[in-house]
Structure 1
Amino acid sequence: MPTHKPADHPAVSPFLLVADARAMLAFLAATFGARELFRKTREDGSIMHAEVRIDDSVLMIGERPERAAALCGSTHVYVPDVDACYAAGLAAGAASVSPPTDQPYGDRTAGLRDHEGNLWWIGTHLAG
């Protein structure tokens, strides 16, 4: 059993540095059903580090220093129902980048942009 990482963590996890970690955590819970695993706050109450689980993956989040430039990421997430996830994301405040569409490579995909500017590509692999 590997000891170089926590047993319930994958070897690679995206890490988002955001202006408002609480808002990001709420967006992830509403859109993807993310379950919070860990939260470490600073003395001022800001979130230094948080971790959430989405399906079999862990996403790490931290609040960037006030003067630090915004960093936007692009993440792909497979979900059971891309249409429902897309609708949940829009309801949680995301903007549409691409509506759900069947792709020639066998996935149904959609794109969202969250309040921080991050892109979320969501997909459901179609049977076949």
Structure 2
Amino acid sequence: MKHTAPQGYTSVAPWVVTDDTGALLDFITAAFAGEELARVPVEDGSIGHGEIRVGDTVVLAFDRRPDWPVTPSLLRIYVPDADAATASAVAAGAEVITELSDSAWGDRGGRVRDPFGNIWWVVSRVEEVDPETSWQRMSEPPYAESMRIAQETLDAALSGRPVGISSPPVRHAD
């Protein structure tokens, strides 16, 4: 597929709608070393358009209108050091949803909820793992437990239940 986005933009871009886009841009700058590109206020004082570059991606944002539903975003960010980035996010006001752990497929990461209700998967690639090895690892106790906790903590965070629901992965025949 031909790259049709303008220079410096990816083909798919996340939009975040929040009650305080200015504060969101400040959070992303502090937590993930974002580089703010645009903050466009509109006549009523809200932010009608904001952009911030995080790594190779531009995240777009704008303020929610009072009669729109709250719509939290779910975002994954690859960083050089997931532990350090999670600590930065917490220092900037995020709450840990899922403690950091190592995955069967070679990532280390966890989840935080930013002060605006968005959930960020904060992830580092720590090793290259082929698909067959990943599937084998998923049945090993430490990786199976990590997957269970990841599913349950996300479900609890999104559903509001005190204990979330999980289900082990099932490999289909190729």
CA distance in 2, matches of 1:16, 1:93: 17
Q: 1:126 to 1:4 in 2, by over 3 A?
A: closer
Residue correspondences, number: 127
Q: 1:44 to 1:97 in 2, by over 3 A?
A: same
CA distance in 1, matches of 2:39, 2:6: 16
Q: CA deviation at 1:67?
A: 2.2
Q: 1:58 is paired with a residue of what secondary structure? A: strand
Q: CA deviation at 1:45?
A: 2.5
CA distance in 2, matches of 1:32, 1:23: 14
Which one scores higher on RCO, CA 8 angstroms, separation ≥ 6? Answer: 1
> Runs in 1 of length 4+ with deviation above 4 angstroms?
none
Give the corresponding residue for 2:30.
30
Where structure 1 has 5 or more consecutive residues not aligned to the other structure, the ranges are none
Percent of paired sites with the same residue: 35
Asked whether the equivalents of residues 22 and 39 of structure 2 are also in contact (C-alpha less than 8 Å), the reply is no
Q: Deviations over 1:69-123 (max 9, x none)?
A: 1001111110001001000111111111112111121110110001121110011
CA distance in 2, matches of 1:5, 1:28: 23
Partner letter of residue 35 of structure 2?
R
Q: Deviations over 1:31-88 (max 9, x none)?
A: 1101011221102332100111000011000001122110011111100010010001
The structure that is helix-richer by fraction is: 2
Give the corresponding residue for 1:111.
111
The structure that is strand-richer by fraction is: 1
Partner letter of residue 76 of structure 1?
R
Give the corresponding residue for 2:144.
none
Where structure 2 has 5 or more consecutive residues not aligned to the other structure, the ranges are 129-174
